[in-house]
Amino acid sequence: MTGSAFLIDGLQYANWSEKVFRQMREGRLDAVHVTICYHEMFRETVANLENWNRWFERYPDLIRPAGTAEDIRAAKAEGRTAIVFGLQNCSPIEDDIGLVEILHTLGVRFMQLSYNNQSLLATGCYEREDPGITRMGRQVIREMNRVGMTIDMSHSAERSTLEAIEISERPIAITHANPSFWHPALRNKSDTVLKALAESGGMLGFSLYPHHLRDKSDCTLAGFCEMIARTADMIGVEHLGIGSDLCVDQPDSVVEWMRNGRWSKDLDYGEGSAAAAGFPPQPSWFQSARDFPNLADGLAAVGFSASDVDRIMGGNWLSFYEHAFAPMRTEHTETSEQARRSHVS
């Protein structure tokens, strides 16, 4: 990577601590999109934001909140890691579309329309049937477009994902998943989805969660980077980034929570199994945020140019953030949106 390049991770859910924040600095991460909800309702999500406020107060040398691309540039200049909030589920908006703007004001910049299961908005990737975007889903997509919250379909089903791409007036993201041509996990994405995503200006973040990798924990760095090269050939390098899905220091009870929340009485093992229910071990070359430089080296080794490596490692995410997080300007709301933005300045 070149010295001035941005390093951005499109998704993490660590057991946050000073140790983890120091790993981000050691890995030179300029920004991380962090998950603040899997199954939480609104009030519980606010409690998670309160925890982040305490971490920002306690570790001002390491991290800072970020709601714009400009904040990420400032973080880089200050030698801190910018934290961008996102929801892996729409549970925090409950049945209330007004909570989209409230959560945007609180800094949330990504929301998945569904997490594995059917939601009020869309279908998850583990359901048998996918009836597509719901009535409320159409309204919420429009509201997310309006306020500047990016639609994330990482855990959603095929038809719902294609419809979200079509309905949304702004590009969407698949923050953490891989192509199913490389590893046909239910969570990975078809060529059809990847092409539609790219055609609409969207972004794919490549996941390093072993269940999303060919050969899982034994996946090689070269194999991972060759897969990125094939994807670049298919949809263009400008749509690619990293969304590591790192869950550093999380106990196995957390992956059980991710899979089961409060929705099931039978234990669901998701991509795991009764015999291997916990977090799978990370590949040797990607254990924590300190290993980000390995990815850049791996990309160069499979033939990406220095500028393409920079784009994949963060430049593309930064360009995407640039356009995704500002309120949409429409004739009707322009003045009011300008007011809202300066409201909380």
> Interface with its own copies by CB under 8 A: which residues?
42-43, 46-47, 49-51, 53-54, 56-57, 60-61, 64-68, 70-71, 74-75, 78, 80, 96, 98-99, 101-102, 105-107, 332-336, 339-345
* DSSP annotation string for 6-28: --EEEEE-----HHHHHHHHHTT
How many whole angstroms from its chain centre is CA 291? 19
Q: Which is nearer to its own copies, 95 or 266 (CB)?
A: 95
Q: Which is nearer to its own copies, 138 or 340 (CB)?
A: 340
User: What sections of the chain are H helices per DSSP?
Assistant: 18-26, 42-58, 69-78, 98-105, 135-147, 158-167, 191-199, 221-235, 252-260, 292-301, 306-310, 316-324, 334-343
Question: What is the spatial distance between Cα 252 and Cα 301, in angstroms, rounded to a whole number?
Answer: 34
Q: Which is nearer to its own copies, 67 or 210 (CB)?
A: 67
Q: Which is nearer to its own copies, 57 or 233 (CB)?
A: 57
* Distance of closest approach, residue 184 Cβ to its own copies, in angstroms: 40
* Distance of closest approach, residue 344 Cβ to its own copies, in angstroms: 4
Question: What is the spatial distance between Cα 40 and Cα 259, in angstroms, rounded to a whole number?
Answer: 13
Q: Which is nearer to its own copies, 68 or 118 (CB)?
A: 68
* Distance of closest approach, residue 11 Cβ to its own copies, in angstroms: 19
Long-range contacts of 273-276 (CB under 8 A, 24+ apart): none
* Distance of closest approach, residue 146 Cβ to its own copies, in angstroms: 9
In the three-class reduction of DSSP (H, G, I as helix; E, B as strand; rest coil), residue 174 is classed as strand
* Distance of closest approach, residue 84 Cβ to its own copies, in angstroms: 10
Q: Which is nearer to its own copies, 101 or 245 (CB)?
A: 101
Question: What is the spatial distance between Cα 298 and Cα 169, in angstroms, rounded to a whole number?
Answer: 35
Both tokens assigned to 29: 């991460």
Residues 6+ apart with CB under 8 A from 330: 146
Question: What is the spatial distance between Cα 158 and Cα 186, in angstroms, rounded to a whole number?
Answer: 10
* Distance of closest approach, residue 16 Cβ to its own copies, in angstroms: 15
* Distance of closest approach, residue 220 Cβ to its own copies, in angstroms: 39
Q: Which is nearer to its own copies, 102 or 300 (CB)?
A: 102
Both tokens assigned to 38: 């899997």
* Distance of closest approach, residue 336 Cβ to its own copies, in angstroms: 3
Q: Which is nearer to its own copies, 195 or 323 (CB)?
A: 323
Beta strands in the chain (DSSP E): 8-12, 31-37, 63-65, 81-87, 108-112, 150-152, 173-174, 203-206, 240-242
Are 136 and 99 spatial neighbours (Cβ–Cβ below 8 Å)?
A: no
